Structures are given as C-alpha cells and as structure tokens.
Structure 1
Amino acid sequence: MLNSLYTRLAAGLFVLMVAVGLVYTFISTVSLREYYASVNQELNRNLARDLVSDRNLVDEGRIDQTALKELFALYMTINPSIEIYLLDPDGKILSYSADPEKIKRNRVSLDPIRNLLVDETAYPVLGDDPRSHERQKAFSVTPVPSADNIQGYLYVVLRGEEYDSVEMMAREGHFIGMSAWAVAFSLLFGLVAGLAVFRLLTRRLTRLTRLVEQFEQGDPSAWAARARWADERGRSRDEVDYLGVAFDRMADRIVSQIEQLQEKDTLRRRLIAQVSHDLRTPLASMQGYVESLRMKRDSLSPEQQGRFLDVALDESRRLSHLVDELFELAALEAREKRPQPEPFTPAELIHDVAQKHGPEAARKGVELRVTGNLGLPMVLGDLGMTERVLDNLIRNALRYSPEHSDVVLDLAGDERWLTVTVRDAGPGIREADLPHVFDALYRGEQRDEPGHAGLGLAIAKRIMDLQGGDIRVRNEAEGGAAFAIRLPFQSAMAD
C-alpha cells in the first residue's frame, strides 16, 4: 500500500503544499513589509519638511540648535515610532533623537536621500538605519535650512526601534496567530481537496489494476467486469481510458490465443490418437504377415509366400507415405518449408500433371481430361508446391472415381485469379464432412480405406495458404466432388 501510486501522489502533494506554504509566507512577508514601507513613506513624505516649518528650526538662514533639541525631546516622548537625525551635506550624523548607546553608524548614504528628493513618488525608497550596519528603513528627508542653501539634511526614520519592538510583539500576538491558523487551515484544506481529487483520478486506474491482476490469476468474473468497465468509460479519452482500451485489446488477443491454443491442443491430441492408429494398422499388418511367413514358411507355396511379401511391402510403403506426409505437414506448419514464387504457364503445368497420372488412370479405367481456357496468361506461384497440390487432388479423384468415368482438369480465369478445378464422378462428400475435409487426419464416414490418414488435403490447404492462394471444395449437382485451387496472375500481382 505504501508503494501505491495514490500514496506517492499524496506524499508529493503534501511536500508541494508545504513548499507552497513556505514560499507564500516568504513572499507575503516581504511584500507586506514593502507595502507598509510604501504606505508609511507616502503618508509621511512631508514629515521632515513640516517639522522644519512647524518647529521653527531655521532662524535667519541657520539651524536653531535650541529648537532642534526641543524637537528631539518632544518626539522621543510623544511619538517614539520615529527617529530624527541631523546630517551634514556629506551624510555625517551631527545630532539625533535616539539613544546614543544604540547608534551604530556615524554617517548614512546620501544616494537614497537624493533619489527621494528628485522623485518623491518613488516608493518605497529605503535608507540606512543608523542603529544597524545592515538594516534599511523608510524615511522622510528635507534639506536644511533650504533647498537653495543646503547645509545639511533633517533625516527622519519612520519606523524606529520602538516601532520595531511593538511590531515584533504584534507578530507574536493574536493577529499573527490568527494568520498562522488561516494559512494552516488553507493548506490543510488544499491537501484534503487534492487527496480527494487524486482518489477520483486514480480510482479507475486502481480498478483497472485489480482487473488485470484478476485476469492474470484466471478469474473468469474479471472478464465480465472488464467489459462493464469498458462500456462505462467508452466515451472518455484520457490516458486511463486509453490504457483500458489497450488492456481490452490485449485481453481479447490473449483470450483468442488461449482458445486457439486449446483448439490446437485438442487437434494435437486427436492427431496423435489418429496417427497412432494409422501407424499401428500397417505395422500390425506387416508384423502379422512377416510372422506368418516365418512360422509357415515350409508349408506355404511359393505363390503364397510371394503374396505375403507383397502385402507386407504394400503396408511398408503405406507407412512410409504416411510418415513422409507427417513430416511435410510439420515443416509447412513450422514454416520451415516456404514457397518460392515464380511465373509459369498454367496450361503447361496441367498437361504435365495429367500426363504423369495418365497410366494410373488407365489402370483404373478412368479417363483423365483437360478442359477450359488453355491460353491463360502466366501465374505467380511455387511450381513444385502447386504440382504437389494437384497430385493430391488427382490421386483422391482417381481413388473415388468409378470405372469408365472421367476426371476433369478445368482451367478458368478472371481479371485477377487463375482457377484450376479437379472434378470426379465419385459419390461426393457428405455435407457434414465438407467443412472438415481440409483438417489433418479427418476421416469421414465414407473414408473407410484402411491406412488412409487424410493428410493430403491438409497439406494442400497449407500450401495454398502459404502461396497467397486458396482451395475450395463443393459437390456437383450431377454427382461427384470438385476441388478448386486459385492462384493470382502475374499481371495482377504487378498492379
């Protein structure tokens, strides 16, 4: 919990609020001090001039020292918040109304005095405080005896030591306490409000995190909850919603992949079971005939021995063919065997394949015919793989065609695709079996031949997919099945 995003945001907000409070206090203190200095200097800008005028400090163009001492004594009694200093033209302190033991300077800088005399509205202008070597304060000043005949300056510090003492007491009093409580309450309110806002902002992220954890643990209820969350936030567009959408897509992909893996696992189990059965059948047959030949060799005639050997040889060939198909299908599934596309003439390929299977068709009493448009342009595909597909389709057609029937190889095309159709006159395929004829080792009810593993059509399907083509099957209305493969024309691929 301490490492959660909400906790870190809360800690960050707390530090931020403390920093804001300190900066606010510092800026407020400095600004308030300058404000008070400006106001005080504005209100008392003519104080020094009025003191000279009202107390008759100048007599016949000279400073009346007696009147000056009376002024010092008077203002030390009735207004201890100000301090009055008499300066010579160089800024040296000649006399003053303050306690002599607390005077630290023997002169003050004339630059602030001249700046204020030149522009009396430039507030605040701070001058040297004779009671300190570092401190500066607001002041009022006037040249004496006059601006035309400057023999010195009457320099009035508006916030003297007595004022500072009273101000310090006020800061430590009730007003400062109230201000501190106000600042503390404001910061506390900001902290609580910020935490509430953070809770609202992180609530969806926390919920999404919990759903991800539940989904990771395989909790099925997390999927439904995730869907509801996506529906509720479907119209928002902030980062949390984008993260939720990304999680939706990731979860969909994971679930789809899991389903595919489960389906693959089911097919794998079925494949292993069927392969085991298909391998066991020829092996058992071979073993049986070989053992019989060994045990009854003396009692069997040469013709019977030859027949036993022929059957064992046929079963070994069937077993070898099945193993070869298994290796080929595995290589295609693993993409170890990839097509090498090249342009070739479809009519030439069809004639070569038909000629290759002509003797087998003749032995079965089936006529192998080539029809359609023999002038089609060149197509782009792997010649060897395409021939392998046609070999499988023609062998299947010959296997199921009755005697004295036809197996037709038909060529057709449109603007983009070449279509080669292999039609037979056999019993066709049950409608229930049509969606599964390209599944590996699928055996329909009509496939009752011993040792037939059903891998040829699966291999053909995989080859056509790798080439960017496809393969389809349908039953003909007049009887028989028709397998059609499609490949793109070379001109279509160039476009």
Structure 2
Amino acid sequence: MLNSLYTRLALGLFVLLIAVGLVYTFVSTMSLREYYASVNQELNRDLARHLVSDRNLVDEGRLDQKALKTLFERYMTINPSIEIYLLDTEGKILAYSADPGKIKRNSVSMAPIHKLLDDMEAYPVLGDDPRSHDRQKVFSVTPVPSAQNTEGYLYVVLRGEEYDSVEMMAREGHFITMSAWAMGASLVFGLIAGLAAFRLLTRRLTRLTRIVEQFEQGEPGTGNDARLRWSDEGSRSGDEIDYLGVTFDRMADRIALQIEQLREKDTLRRRLVAQVSHDLRTPLASMQGYVESLRMKRDRLSPDEQAQFLDIALEEGRRLSHLVDELFELAALEAREKQPRLEPFAPAELIHDVAQKHGPEAARKGIELKVIGDPALPMVLGDLGMTERVLDNLIRNALEYSPEKAEVELHLAQTEAGLKVVVSDSGPGIAEQDLPHVFDPLYRGDNRETPGHAGLGLAIARRIMDMQGGAISVCNRDSGGAAFEIVLPFQPKANASQ
C-alpha cells in the first residue's frame, strides 16, 4: 500500500501543504507587522507636534523643562504604549519618559528622522529604539527649540516596551490560536481536494496497470486474444496518460504480431529441418547402398557395373555437397553475415556473360539460349557477384526443365521500377497452387508428375534480391513454361553524374 503511486502522491501533497502553510504563516506575519506599523505611524504622525503645541512645551522660544517633565509623567500613565525622548540636533538623548535602567542608547540615528520629516507619507519609516542596540520601531517626531535656543527634536516611539509586551501576549494567545485553526482548516481542505484530484488521475493509471498486467499474464498472438485495450475504455482526454495508453496498445499489437510471426517462422523452421533431413538422408542412403553393394558384390560385378555403381555414388555425393553448400549460403544470408556490395554496373554486359557461360550446357541439350532486348540500358545499382548468382540459378533451372530443341529466352527491358530481366523456359510450367510457395526453402509441389521445385536456389535468389533492394517473381506463360522476373534499381542520377 505504501509503495503505490497514490500513497506517495498523498504523502508528497501533505508535506507540500505543511511547507506552504509555514511559508504562508511567516509571510503573513511579516506583512501584518509592516501593515500595522504603517497604520500606526500614519495615525500618529502628528502626535509629537501636537504634544509640543498642546502642552505648551515651548515658552518664549525656549523649551519649558517643567512642562516637559509633566508631559513625561502624564503620558506614561495615560498611554504607556508610547515612549517620549528629547533629542538634540545630533540625535543625542537629552531627556526621556522611560525607565532609566532600560535605556541602552545615548543617541539615535538622524537619517530616519530626516527622511520622515522630508516626506510625512513615507510609511513605514523605522527609527532606532533607545531600549535596544539593534531593534527599530515606528516613531513620530517634530522639531522643538532647546534650552540653548537651538533646534532639538521630540522623538516619540509609538510601539514602546509596554506595547511589545501586550502584543507578545496577544500573539501567543488569540493570534496563534486563530492562525493554527486557519492553517489547519486550509491544510485539511487542500489535502482533501488534492487527494480527490489525485484519485481522478491515478484511476486512469490503475486501469492502464490492469491492462498491462492482463497482457503480461495472457498469451498474445494466439488468435483468441481477448485482452483489454486502452482505446476501448472510453475516456479519451488526449493528455500524457491517454498517449501512454494508446502507445501501449500499439506496442501490444506489434508484440502480438511479432509473436505470431515468430510462431510462423518456427513452424517454417521445423518444416525446413524436416525437409532438409529428408533431402540429406536420400542421397546419403543412396550412396551408402551403392557403396555397400559394391563392397559385397565386387567379385560378381563386371567392371562396367562397378563403374556404374561408383558413378551413381559420386553423383549422389555431388548432390549432397551442393545441398549443404546452399544451406550454408542461405544461413549466411539470413544471418546477414554476407552483405551486398552495391556498385553500378552495365546490366546488358552481365546478361550476355552469364548466357555465354551457360551456352555449352544449352548446346548439349539442344536448347537455344537467346538474349532479347536493348543492350544500351542505363547502369543499375547492385552487387555484381550476387546478381550473377541469381541469374545462374534461374538459367540453370530453365535449362533443366525445358525439353530438347526448345528455347530459353532472357528479355531485358526498362521500366519505372528499374531494369527488368525475364528468364522464360519452355517447360511444363508450375502448378497454380504451387506458385505462391516457389521461393520457400525446399518446397515440393503436390503434383509429382511435374518437375516442381525442390531445393534452396530460389530461396537464396529471393533473399539476394531483397538485400539489394530489388524484387523477384514468377508466373506461367500463356504459351507454356514458366517465366521468372527480377527487377534491379537503376543507378541514381546524382551518383551517375559523379
């Protein structure tokens, strides 16, 4: 419970409100003090002047010391919150109404006095408190003549020691109680409001957590996945939580699709292993059978029969070696251990070279191998060796499945997608149900009367074309036979200009 996001948010809100309450109390206390000081000074700004004029402190231009003493005694009784001081022009204290034992200054600073006298509405102006070395208080001041017929000042501290004592008692009593109640009420209200807001926010996060947990406990990609989705919840506000939920839905769909693809690949892998095992076992069993027969019947076999047995075993060995080489080549391409080296080359020149290489084989079978198309085609971008490997495989298959006295044609053409090369044979063609699987490794068609496809050559060809950014496809010709088409991209113009 303590580890939940809601609990942590609640604790964080509580600490934050306490801190805000303390800061608010401090700021409000300081502001109130300054406000009360301004009000007090504004209300009593003429107090010193009234005292001088009302109490007749000045008689014939001279300060009446007797009237001043009477003033001190009376106001200490009538208004004990003020303290009256008589200053000379330098700020030295000449007389006062306070207890002599509590006076700690002999003089006060004249800067605040001059500031207030220059601007009687500059509130609050704080002056030195004679009862303290560092404390300052609001005051009222007026110039008066001194006994030496020079100007002095009547300096009235408006919040004297008695006022401070009473204020301290009030603050410790009623003010603290009211502040505590106000702070407590604000804290409780803010906490309740914050918890309600956090509940509204974390409720959506809780739903998202439930969706994630169900996805974790389920089996995505099985076809009958009935997991919850954020987009089905109905509350779409477009904020970060909603974005997170929608993103998780997309991620979950992608993971489910990848799991399904992995299952399909695993199924294909198992089938490939089974087919490879069968194709490897067949030539091995044939080789083993003929070698054992040769060993057991060597004395009863003629030299021609022995040579025939050895030729068959050798042919099966070559077939087995070729299949193993293709397996290693396909594995290297799938693992991207073998990467194409793309470079521009002339396609017509490559086609004629490959056709010339397979000319003797075509001549032995009485097949005419023709190259049709414009030889002045633009440069294409691809791996020369890999492209030659694809063409070798297609031409070899075409020669294998074409009857004697037939034709195998290589058509070159320029399209918007790039260079198109079509290898057409005159064989029986491919069954329609087998066409989508022609490029699958070791695929064998159901119709065994036709040659069909069994091996890895076409799977290697498709992988090579994909790695070069090209394409390969197959279809049956209307006139009979199959037509394999490859497309290679032309060299970009920017590269050509270089």
| TM-score of the pair, normalised by structure 1 | 0.89
- 2:315 matched to 1:318? no
Deviation per CA, 1:437-482, whole angstroms, max 9, x where unpaired? 1011111123569997421111111121222211110111222211
SS at match of 1:192: helix
Aligned to 2:139: 139
| CA pair 280-137 structure 1, distance change in 2 beyond 3 A | same
SS at match of 2:372: strand
Equivalent residues in 2 for 1:259-278 (5 A)?
Answer: 259-278=260-279
Displacement of 1:436 in angstroms is 0.9
Displacement of 1:283 in angstroms is 0.7
| CA pair 370-451 structure 1, distance change in 2 beyond 3 A | closer
The separation in 2 between residues aligned to 1:182 and 1:481, in whole angstroms, is 92
- 2:228 matched to 1:225? yes
SS at match of 2:85: strand
SS at match of 1:167: helix
Deviation per CA, 1:145-165, whole angstroms, max 9, x where unpaired? 489954532222212222222
* Aligned length, in residue pairs: 493
- Give the stretch that moved more between structures: 464-473 or 390-399: 390-399
SS at match of 2:48: helix
The separation in 2 between residues aligned to 1:251 and 1:393, in whole angstroms, is 42
Aligned to 2:75: 75
Equivalent residues in 2 for 1:330-369 (5 A)?
Answer: 330-369=331-370
**Which one-letter code corresponds to 2:78 in the other structure?**
I
| CA pair 374-92 structure 1, distance change in 2 beyond 3 A | closer
SS at match of 1:178: helix
**Which one-letter code corresponds to 2:102 in the other structure?**
K
| CA pair 148-400 structure 1, distance change in 2 beyond 3 A | farther
Contact kept in structure 1, 2:211 and 2:227, CA below 8 Å = no
The separation in 2 between residues aligned to 1:265 and 1:493, in whole angstroms, is 43
- Give the stretch that moved more between structures: 172-181 or 459-468: 172-181
Deviation per CA, 1:34-90, whole angstroms, max 9, x where unpaired? 211111111111112212222222222233333333322322222222222233344
- Give the stretch that moved more between structures: 36-45 or 385-394: 385-394
> Structure 1 residue runs of 4+, over 6 Å off?
448-452
The separation in 1 between residues aligned to 2:226 and 2:42, in whole angstroms, is 73
**Which one-letter code corresponds to 2:466 in the other structure?**
D
The separation in 1 between residues aligned to 2:2 and 2:342, in whole angstroms, is 61
Aligned to 1:470: 471
Q: Percent identity?
A: 77
**Which one-letter code corresponds to 1:304 in the other structure?**
E
Displacement of 1:178 in angstroms is 1.8
Aligned to 1:385: 386
Give the root-mean-square deviation of aligned CA atoms: 3.1
The separation in 1 between residues aligned to 2:410 and 2:136, in whole angstroms, is 111
Aligned to 1:58: 58
- 2:301 matched to 1:300? yes
Displacement of 1:426 in angstroms is 2.1
Displacement of 1:289 in angstroms is 1.4
Displacement of 1:218 in angstroms is 4.7
- Give the stretch that moved more between structures: 242-251 or 426-435: 242-251
SS at match of 2:98: coil
**Which one-letter code corresponds to 1:332 in the other structure?**
L
In structure 1, stretches of 5+ residues that fail to align are none
Contact kept in structure 2, 1:415 and 1:492, CA below 8 Å = no
Aligned to 1:397: 398
The separation in 1 between residues aligned to 2:96 and 2:26, in whole angstroms, is 34
The separation in 2 between residues aligned to 1:40 and 1:211, in whole angstroms, is 66
Contact kept in structure 2, 1:230 and 1:244, CA below 8 Å = no
The separation in 1 between residues aligned to 2:88 and 2:7, in whole angstroms, is 66
Contact kept in structure 1, 2:417 and 2:489, CA below 8 Å = yes
SS at match of 1:432: helix
The separation in 2 between residues aligned to 1:231 and 1:447, in whole angstroms, is 57
Displacement of 1:346 in angstroms is 3.3
Contact kept in structure 1, 2:417 and 2:487, CA below 8 Å = no
**Which one-letter code corresponds to 1:386 in the other structure?**
T
Deviation per CA, 1:271-298, whole angstroms, max 9, x where unpaired? 1110000000111111111112212222
Aligned to 2:428: 427
**Which one-letter code corresponds to 1:86 in the other structure?**
L
Displacement of 1:365 in angstroms is 4.2
| CA pair 148-3 structure 1, distance change in 2 beyond 3 A | farther
| CA pair 14-303 structure 1, distance change in 2 beyond 3 A | same
| CA pair 416-222 structure 1, distance change in 2 beyond 3 A | closer
| CA pair 251-107 structure 1, distance change in 2 beyond 3 A | same
In structure 2, stretches of 5+ residues that fail to align are none
The separation in 2 between residues aligned to 1:191 and 1:227, in whole angstroms, is 30
Displacement of 1:318 in angstroms is 1.1
| TM-score of the pair, normalised by structure 2 | 0.88
Aligned to 1:116: 116
